[in-house]
């Protein structure tokens, strides 16, 4: 293991055959959290296997720009003013504008947002989209906010990051805790400041202001498309399969509905409050109608048995779809899972230790950066449609999405077989390789 040569620094293009070296051991403290470490460890393991140019490896370990803001936020009672922390992290500016969602969650921190921005970089590169990764977050529990509070918070956060976003610069989208309403307010706040309508500043916005058909269901549709392809190559037909879905939001809800439409029995389903299990299969439309009428408590659903979120993950099934939050499949429960295949709808649901246990147990994992890339893929379609002012039908969007997901899946699967690695490692290799090539041809300024 050798340190990089000084000539390598002057231009990446001069370092076609770099010496491998040990991963740098220091961690930048500002964003050193468990989730950031997971993203960096995944990168390090893959870079080592790829014999990645150490100069590029080092560049990819940290975000290019990280914006930390705090601002005053007034609750409806007009007495309380609290200080809210928020972030926008741009990991990679090499490939085009940066792209990635904004999440509202009480645990959001710089490390989490940074990890998510790195995963966005790999995701966009795997799908061949002309974007680098970004992510934003506001540290607040959105469930405690009235509609007015949510709007005020969104407009203030937008004005705090207004200088770093834009249709050619950095394009936010929905993520955990945000939706198309929030995107409309971001678009409006940005446009008010510019003095004209700028729909291209966000994706995942309502159709009325330039949103794309099929965007709200795109992540879930991509997940099911990956489950179908992975099932095909591994003798698990979705038709007749027992499926468990953790999460009943935009991703989990759509995945459950589409799986069931393809003949799967969705035997387990949960949201943040708990879950429900029925070995004969749940009627997804009935569960939806029930939660609308009775509130979120899925555990009380009368046509199933109550299960906790942890119990849900360990239910016997063919396909497990974690589609809620990070850090769900860990060294504590990986040995107890009773599924044949995992398709990750959430970002970062599986830890590194769990990944190794699952690989030992021959449980196939379709990784997040591939399985949930349908969302950003249709975001790309939305951005392109907006630039051209030429809008596609829902059928066309879905067809193009499924085509891209299928070919990405097969290209990653083929690489995994060629290299004898997991799908996660192959997906990382594919993404990182594309970024490396772009960095090599651009060189180093000045
Ligand atoms: N938040 C989504 C993700 O994690 C979508 C990002 C986007 O559409 O830009 O992939």
Question: Mutate which of 90, 173, 344 to test ligand 1's pocket (most atoms within 8 Å of Cβ)?
Answer: 173
Give the three-class secondary structure for 444. coil
Angle, helix 423-442 to helix 34-50, in steps of 10 degrees: 80
Percent of the chain with pLDDT over 70: 94
Closest atom of ligand 1 relative to the 215 alpha carbon: 8
- Residue numbers annotated as active site: 135
* Ligand 1 centroid from CA 374, angstroms: 8
Average pLDDT of the chain, as a whole number: 94
* Mean pLDDT of the region 252-276: 97
Residue 6 has pLDDT above 50, yes or no: no
CA 9 distance to own-chain centroid: 32
pTM: 0.94
* Ligand 1 centroid from CA 62, angstroms: 20
* Mean pLDDT of the region 195-221: 98
24 vs 299, residue with greater confidence: 299
Cα separation of 204 and 53, whole Å? 36
Report the CATH fold assignment for 65-198. Answer: Rossmann fold (3.40.50)
Q: Out of 18-22, 339-343, 355-359, 376-380, which region has the weakest mean confidence (pLDDT)?
A: 18-22
Cα separation of 113 and 279, whole Å? 37
pLDDT digits (tens, 9 = 90+) for 166-181: 999 999 999 999 999 9
In 91-232, where do the E strands start and end? Answer: 98-105, 132-139, 170-174
* Ligand 1 centroid from CA 375, angstroms: 5
* Mean pLDDT of the region 83-110: 98
Q: Give the model's confidence band at 7: pLDDT under 50 very low, under 70 low, under 90 confident, else very high.
A: very low
Torsion of CA 96, 61, 38, 135, to 10 degrees: -30
Residue 8 has pLDDT above 50, yes or no: no
Same fold, 65-198 and 218-366: yes
Residue 2 has pLDDT above 50, yes or no: no
Identify the CATH number of the domain defined by range 218-366.
3.40.50.720
Neighbours of 371 (CB within 10 A): 33
Contact 221/214 with Cβ under 8 angstroms? yes
Alpha-carbon separation of residue 371 from 127, 195, 228 (angstroms): 11, 39, 11
Residue 30 has pLDDT above 90, yes or no: no
What are the extents of the domains in the chain? 65-198, 218-366
Contacts of 251 (CB under 8 A, 6+ apart): 219, 220, 223, 323, 345, 346, 372, 375
Contact 91/59 with Cβ under 8 angstroms? no
């Amino acid at each position: 293991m050798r340190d990089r040569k000084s000539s390598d620094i002057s231009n990446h293009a001069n370092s076609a055959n770099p010496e491998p070296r040990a991963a740098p051991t220091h961690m930048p403290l500002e964003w050193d959290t468990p989730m950031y470490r997971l993203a960096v460890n995944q990168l390090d393991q893959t870079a080592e296997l790829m014999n990645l140019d150490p100069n590029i490896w080092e560049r990819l370990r940290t975000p290019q720009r990280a914006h930390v803001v705090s601002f005053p936020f007034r609750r409806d009672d007009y007495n309380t003013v609290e200080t809210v922390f928020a972030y926008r992290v741009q990991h990679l500016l090499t490939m085009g504008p940066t792209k990635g969602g904004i999440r509202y969650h009480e645990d959001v921190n710089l490390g989490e947002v940074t990890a998510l921005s790195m995963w966005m970089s790999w995701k966009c590169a795997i799908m061949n989209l002309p974007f680098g990764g970004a992510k934003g977050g506001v540290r607040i529990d959105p469930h405690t906010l009235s509609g007015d509070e949510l709007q005020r918070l969104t407009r203030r956060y937008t004005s705090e990051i207004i200088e770093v976003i834009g249709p050619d610069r950095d394009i936010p989208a929905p993520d955990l805790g945000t939706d198309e309403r929030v995107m409309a307010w971001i678009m409006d706040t940005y446009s008010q400041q510019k003095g004209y309508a700028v729909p291209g500043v966000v994706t995942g916005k309502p159709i009325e202001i330039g949103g794309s058909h099929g965007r709200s269901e795109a992540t879930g549709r991509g997940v099911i498309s990956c489950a179908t392809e992975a099932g095909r190559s591994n003798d698990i037909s979705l038709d007749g399969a027992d499926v468990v879905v953790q999460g009943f939001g935009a991703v989990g809800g759509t995945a459950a509905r589409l799986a069931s439409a393809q003949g799967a029995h969705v035997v387990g389903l949960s949201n943040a409050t708990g879950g429900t299990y029925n070995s004969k299969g749940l009627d997804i439309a009935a569960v939806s109608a029930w939660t609308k009428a009775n509130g979120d408590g899925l555990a009380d659903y009368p046509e199933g048995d109550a299960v906790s979120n942890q119990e849900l993950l360990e239910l016997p099934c063919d396909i497990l779809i974690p589609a809620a939050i990070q850090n769900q499949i860990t060294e504590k429960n990986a040995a107890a899972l009773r599924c044949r295949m995992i398709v990750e709808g959430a970002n970062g649901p599986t830890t590194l230790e769990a990944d190794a246990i699952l690989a030992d147990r021959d449980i196939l994992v379709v990784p997040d950066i591939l399985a949930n890339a349908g969302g950003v893929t249709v975001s790309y379609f939305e951005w392109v449609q907006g630039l051209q002012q030429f809008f596609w039908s829902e059928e066309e969007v879905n067809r193009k999405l499924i085509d891209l997901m299928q070919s990405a899946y097969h290209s990653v699967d083929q690489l995994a077989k060629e290299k004898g690695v997991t799908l996660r490692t192959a997906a990382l290799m594919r993404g990182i390789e594309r970024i490396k090539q772009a960095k090599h041809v651009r060189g180093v300024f000045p």
